[in-house]
Amino acid sequence: MKKTSLIFTAIVACACSAQAKLNVVATLPDSGSLAREIGGDKVNVTVLAKATEDPHFVDARPSFVVSLRNADVLIDGGAELEVGWLPPLLQNARNPKIEVGKPGRIQASEGVRLINVPANVTRAAGDVHALGNPHFTVDPIIAKAIAQHIAQSFSALDPANAAFYQGNYKKFEATINAKLQEWGAAMLSFKGQHVVAYHDSWPYFAHRFGISIDIFLEPKPGIPPSPSHLAEVIAQIKAQHIKAIIVEPFHDRRIAEKVASSTGAKVVEFSQFPGGLPGTDSYVKLIDTLVSRLAAALK
Amino acid sequence: MWEVMFWPIVACVLLPGLLVYLGLHVVQRGIIFIDIAMAQMASLGICLAVLLHLNLEGWTTFAIALGFTLAGAAIFSVTGKRASQIPQEAVIGISYVVAAAAAVLLLSRAAEGDEEIKNMLVGNILLVTPREVWERFTLFTAVGVLHFVLRKNFLLVSFDRDGAYQKGLRVRWWDFLFYVVFGLVVTSFVRIAGVLLVFSYLIVPAVCGINVAQRIANRLLIGWFIALLGGIAGLFLSYWWDLPSGAAIVCTFGALLILISLLALWKHRRGHSVEVQDSQ
């Protein structure tokens, strides 16, 4: 009898601990990857957008609504990067646990000082990204802050595993701190160099590593390149001897190739998201790849 | 599953009925791409509203979009002459590409970012809200009643144009009315379901109906059946295999059309061979 009740207790305990596993949904693969670093096997992480998909436009599938409905935690960018597709999904999922302001909602941008905040937030100044440039996770120091935020939220929602989450954060922090030395050293000789990008996704990365990525193939974010704008970019590349043009998987590579072929600059494939380039299944590997690719092109 | 798919299913049951009926008109008139052209005209209006920094949910934006739809209706009713060297479909195609290109030009001058605009112009059937469904159901019912009351003239103008002219109908005005109402229906449906889906709902059930039946009433019944079957089956497939819902419905329609065509062919062959046997 005693034995049975012991087994029974064990089963209940198992069931409870299985149930206690936090269901985490991340809108984008970058915060999803950070959530995995912190949560390890104590959480289930579902990422909505694919790493090779344009984060501004993501096609909703039924499983997105199901995941959001069952989520204990939602991690989104919080700076309107997903404004085109997340609000209708949330409206449909109707999950009070992940509403803004609830402990289950982590907005990565919280506490991040955003770059390029338009001075004047009327529609004339641009209705989207009015909060500033939302592509901030590629700065490792910001990524640390987001990871810490995630660790705090997980600990609050799942106090039994708080030590585990905090420990994972400490590990991640130590890795990033060590890596920052390495990355900084690799980029040191290119300080102050200009780099061209297809879309304005890299101000935080550029700021961290002391380069400027401030010339874009798009005349305005989201507007396809026009001939006169491309001619201007080509002239700038020639005048400043710019060596690299950054494109992401969802951009039209041919436009970058065209500019490259008439200037001698190299096209460098970049991704904001772990998994967007071969061999980048974690955040650290992604930044490793970005730094080594850019360094190779700028040499 | 029901929690997620309930409102998409309600939308696919309540709304396409009118589209199938209008589709019979459109296929008969041979103006297949008019829906896409009309939807593009309306979205050009919305792009203009963006450029003027208007509130996209406001009445002014709606009025501008409506104005562009009326302009489209006027163009198509004026160019749909009784006997013309230039097919109506050419005018429709030109209207579409010019409206689409003009939208690109307008947006290139607008404030940065166009996610919100794209999201607003092209909806996703998976994410319909109850309010969107009821608003459209009300509009579609009103249009349906109008079409039912005036069915004699509408049908005459679409299916027997010469007859309509002989009877002394003011064909051009009837065309205009048809296109205005059509534009309203199509534009409001595109906003919840996307361009691919509105096109499929208009054309595929109508073509299936024409494939197997002669009388308009029978074609309509078959079309309704196909629309209901394709819509619901597509939504189920989209749920089971986790596919984008609109595209899943469109491909289901494609498969249904092939099936119906094979069925019609087989029936035709069999009818033929029976005739041959009879004559022997």
Residue type, A202: W
B274: pLDDT strictly greater than 70: no
Residues in chain B: 280
Same domain for A228 and A104: no
A125: pLDDT strictly greater than 50: no
Same domain for A129 and A24: yes
Same domain for A171 and A203: no
Domain regions of chain B by residue span: 2-199
Domains identified in chain A, total number: 2
Q: Which of B109, B127, B129 to mutate to test the interface with A (most CBs of A within 10 A)?
A: B127
Cβ–Cβ under 8 Å, residues A50 and A274: no
E-only strand ranges, A57-120:
73-76, 105-107
From chain B residues 20-59, the ones with a CB under 8 A of any chain A CB are 50, 53
Same domain for A173 and A62: yes
* Element of type H or E holding A23: strand A22-26
Q: What does the pLDDT read at residue B191?
A: 84
Same domain for A50 and A162: yes
Residue type, B8: P
Where is pLDDT greater, at B264 or B220? B220
Give the whole-angstrom CA distance, residue A144 versus residue A148. Answer: 6
Provide the percentage of residues in chain A whose pLDDT is more than 70.
Answer: 89
Closest residue of chain A to B56, computed from CA coordinates: A123
Give the whole-angstrom CA distance, residue B196 versus residue B246. Answer: 7
Q: Which tokens sit at A194?
A: 């200009």
CB nearest A123 (choices: B53, B108, B243): B53
Give the whole-angstrom CA distance, residue B206 versus residue B204. Answer: 5
Same domain for A168 and A55: yes
Same domain for A216 and A145: no
Of A142, A161, A179, the position where a domain reaches its end is: A179
Which is nearest to A22 in space by CA: A155, A144, A171?
A155
Give the whole-angstrom CA distance, residue A44 versus residue B113. Answer: 33
Phi, psi of A284 (to 5 degrees): -65, -40
Cβ–Cβ under 8 Å, residues B185 and B19: yes
Where is pLDDT greater, at B169 or B278? B169
The full DSSP string for A162-208 is HHHHHHHHHHHHHHHHHHHHHHHHHHGGGTT-EEEESSS--HHHHHH
A11: confidence class by pLDDT, cuts 50, 70, 90: very low
Q: Give me the mean pLDDT over the A116-132 stretch.
A: 61
B82: pLDDT strictly greater than 70: no
CA dist A242 to A101, A195, A200, A202, A226, Å? 44, 6, 17, 16, 20
In a domain, A42, yes or no: yes
> Does the beta-carbon distance from A63 to B242 stay under 8 Å?
yes
Provide the greatest CA pair distance for chain B.
Answer: 77
Which is nearest to A213 in space by CA: A204, A224, A223, A221?
A204
Same domain for A160 and A23: yes
Q: Give me the mean pLDDT over the B54-72 stretch.
A: 86
* CATH architecture of the domain with residue range B2-199: Orthogonal Bundle (1.10)
Number of CB atoms found within 10 A of residue B202's CB: 30
Q: How close A61 gets to chain B, by Cα (Å)?
A: 5
Phi, psi of B102 (to 5 degrees): -60, -35
Q: What does the pLDDT read at residue A18?
A: 47
Same domain for A174 and A69: yes
Mean pLDDT taken over chain A: 89
**Chain A positions touching chain B (beta carbons under 8 Å):** 56-57, 59-63, 65-66, 69, 83-85, 88-89, 91-92, 122-129, 219-224, 226
Per-residue three-class SS string for A141-153? HHHHHHHHHHHHH
Which is nearest to B9 in space by CA: B274, B233, B191?
B233
Q: Which tokens sit at B80?
A: 């749909």
Q: Give me the mean pLDDT over the B209-215 stretch.
A: 90
Closest residue of chain A to B2, computed from CA coordinates: A66
ipTM value, please give it: 0.76
Residue type, B253: F
Give the whole-angstrom CA distance, residue B96 versus residue A91. Answer: 33
Give the whole-angstrom CA distance, residue B72 versus residue B179. Answer: 8
Provide the percentage of residues in chain B whose pLDDT is more than 90.
Answer: 53
B112: pLDDT strictly greater than 70: no
CATH (domain of A286): 3.40.50.1980
From chain B residues 122-141, the ones with a CB under 8 A of any chain A CB are 124, 126-127, 129
> Does the beta-carbon distance from A62 to B4 stay under 8 Å?
yes
Same domain for A155 and A25: yes
Beta carbon pairs, A and B, within 8 Å: 86
In a domain, A3, yes or no: no
Phi, psi of A151 (to 5 degrees): -60, -40
Asked which of A44-58, A135-149, A200-214, B265-279 is least confident by mean pLDDT, the reply is B265-279
When computed from its CA atoms, the radius of gyration of chain A, rounded to whole angstroms, is 21
A121: pLDDT strictly greater than 70: no
Q: What residues form DSSP beta bridges with A74? A: A25, A105
Give the whole-angstrom CA distance, residue B178 versus residue B176. Answer: 5
In a domain, A75, yes or no: yes
Give the whole-angstrom CA distance, residue A150 versus residue A168. Answer: 11
Which is nearest to A111 in space by CA: A157, A82, A154, A79?
A79
Q: What does the pLDDT read at residue B114?
A: 62
A124: pLDDT strictly greater than 60: no
CA B26 to chain centre: 8
* Element of type H or E holding A45: strand A43-47
A219: confidence class by pLDDT, cuts 50, 70, 90: confident
Same domain for A195 and A158: no
Which is nearest to B209 in space by CA: B40, B21, B65?
B21
Same domain for A174 and A30: yes
A132: pLDDT strictly greater than 90: no
Domain containing A214: what range? 188-298
> Does the beta-carbon distance from B118 to A84 stay under 8 Å?
yes
* Element of type H or E holding A269: strand A266-269
Q: Which tokens sit at B197?
A: 């889906």
Give the whole-angstrom CA distance, residue A89 versus residue A68. Answer: 8
Q: What does the pLDDT read at residue A140?
A: 97
> Does the beta-carbon distance from A92 to B129 stay under 8 Å?
yes
